[in-house]
Structure 1
Amino acid sequence: MHSCPVFFLPGWQNSGPGHWQTEWEQHLGHVRVEQHDWMHPLRGDWSARLDEVVADTPESVLLVAHGLGCILTAWWAAHSRHAHKVGGALLAAPCDVERLDLAVRIPGWAPIARQRLPFPAVLVASHNDPSCSFERARQLAADWSARLVDGGDCGHINTESWLGDWPQGQALLRQLADEAGSLG
C-alpha cells in the first residue's frame, strides 16, 4: 500500500471502462485528477487543475500519466512551484502533440516541454503506438531524464491493448514508489 497519494492523469478523452487507469482506481484506491473538459483539453486549465490538486495535498504524491497526461506532467513540472511535492511519475504512452495530425485534433499543446523532470520518472512506450513513435518516445524520455521501458507491441497502452489491470505497470509503480521511499 502506498503511503502517499497516487494521482492519475488520464489523457485526451479520459480513461474509460476497461482502461488500466480505471481498473487501478477501482481496485487500488488511487485518485483520478478530474478535468473540466476531456474532449477539448486546454493546457492551461489542465495544468491549473493539477497544480490545485498537488498544492492541496499535504504530503508528497506519485503521478501516473497516460497519453496527453504525460505531456501535461512535463508542462506542469516546468511551470509549477509545487513540482517538488512529486516523489515520482509513471508516464505511459505519451502523445506526440507536435505531430501535425495530433496538433490539429488537440490544439494548443505544442510545444512539448522538454526540460529534465525535477522528480524520478519512468516512461513506458510501445513500438506500435499510433500516437507516438517509439523513437519519439525514446527522445522524450531522454529529454525528461526518465527511464525508458520498452512496452513491446501494445498499441497506445489503453483499453484496446487488452492489458487488463496492467501488472507490468503496477510493478513499475511499486518500483518507482520504493525508489522514492513512498511505500508503507
Structure 2
Amino acid sequence: MHNESIRYLIVPGWQGSADDHWQTHWQKSLPNSVRVEQADWLKPRREDWVGELQRVIAADSSPVILIAHSLGCVTVAHWAQLAPLDTLRQVRGALLVAPADVERANCPPALRNFAPVPEHLLPFPSQVVSSDNDSAVSALRAMEMARNWGAEIGILSGAGHINVKSGHQRWEQGFAYLYRLQGRIEQSARRRA
C-alpha cells in the first residue's frame, strides 16, 4: 500500500517464528512492522494469544494488516469474533498462511484449546495461502476455512507448512499474495469513498 501509516502485524504460530523464518525476514523488510510476541510460545493459551493480539492492535491507532502463520491464523479468527468494534475497524486485511487445523486427529495436545476453528466471516478482506501437502491442514480443510472466513484461497503445490522446514526462509513469492490483498483493500476503499 502507498500509505506509510499502515502497520504490518506479524502474528506467528506455535513455537514462534525463528530468525530464518519468512515472517522474520518480512518483518525486517516491511516498513512499520511489529511482531505480536506471546508470553508462552510452547504452551499457547487461546485467551492469552487473543488478548495479546488485541493489546498490540490497540496500542497504536494506525491501520493494520495482519500477516499470520499457522496457529496465528486461528488466533486472528478467534480475535475477530471477540474484538471491540474500534480495533476491528483498524484491521484493513489479513494474510493467513498455512492455517493450522486444531481439530485434526493428529493435532498436538498443546493446540487443542484453540478448537473449534471459528467459522464466521472475517469483517475485513483476507487471503488464505496453504499447501496440498501440509501436515497441519489438508488442502480441503484450508479451502473450507477460507470459505467460512470469506477469504480468497491459494493452494501451493508441495509447499508443506510454508515454514523453514519446508524451505520457505525468505518466501519472496509470498509477497505476491500480500500485494494482491493490498490491491483488494485499496479497491474496497475506493468503492467506499
Normalising to structure 1: TM-score of the pair? 0.93
The offset of 1:103, in angstroms, is 5.2
Q: Does 1:56 align with 2:59?
A: yes
- Look up the equivalent residue of 2:56 and give its one-letter code: V
Are the counterparts in 1 of residues 43 and 110 from structure 2 also a CA contact under 8 Å? no
Larger CA deviation: 3-12 vs 95-104: 95-104
Question: Cα distance, 1:168 vs. partner?
Answer: 2.0
What is the CA distance between 1:107 and its match in structure 2?
2.9
Q: Which runs of 4+ in 1 moved over 4 A?
A: none
- In structure 2, relative to structure 1, the CA distance for the partners of 1:17 and 1:152 (3 Å cut) is same
Matches within 5 A, 1:17-166: 17-29=19-31, 30-81=33-84, 82-102=87-107, 104-166=109-171
Match of 1:12 in 2: 14
| Greater length-normalized contact order (CA 8 Å, ≥ 6 residues apart) | 1
Give the aligned residue type for 1:20: W
User: Structure 2: where are the runs of 5+ without partners?
Assistant: 188-193
Matched-pair contact (CA < 8 Å) for 1:9–1:69:
yes
Instruction: Provide the aligned C-alpha RMSD in A.
Output: 1.5
> Quick check: 2:128–2:151 contact (8 Å CA) kept in 1?
yes
The separation in 2 between residues aligned to 1:2 and 1:131, in whole angstroms, is: 35
**Following TM superposition, by how much is the alpha carbon of 1:151 offset from its aligned partner in structure 2, in angstroms?**
1.5
Report how far residue 83 of structure 1 moved: 1.6
**SS of residue in 1 equivalent to 2:9:** strand
For 1:181 and 1:38, the matched residues in 2 are separated by 34
Q: Aligned pairs, how many?
A: 182
- Deviation of residue 2 (structure 1)? 5.5
State the secondary structure of the residue aligned to 1:102. Answer: coil
Q: Give the CA deviation at 1:167.
A: 1.8
Asked whether the 8 Å contact 1:92–1:125 carries over to 2, the reply is yes
In 1, distance between residues paired with 2:74 and 2:151? 13
| Contact 2:17-2:23 at 8 Å conserved across structures | yes
Tell me if the contact between 1:51 and 1:80 (Cα under 8 Å) persists in the aligned partners.
yes
TM-score (norm 2): 0.89
Q: Percent same amino acid among aligned pairs?
A: 40
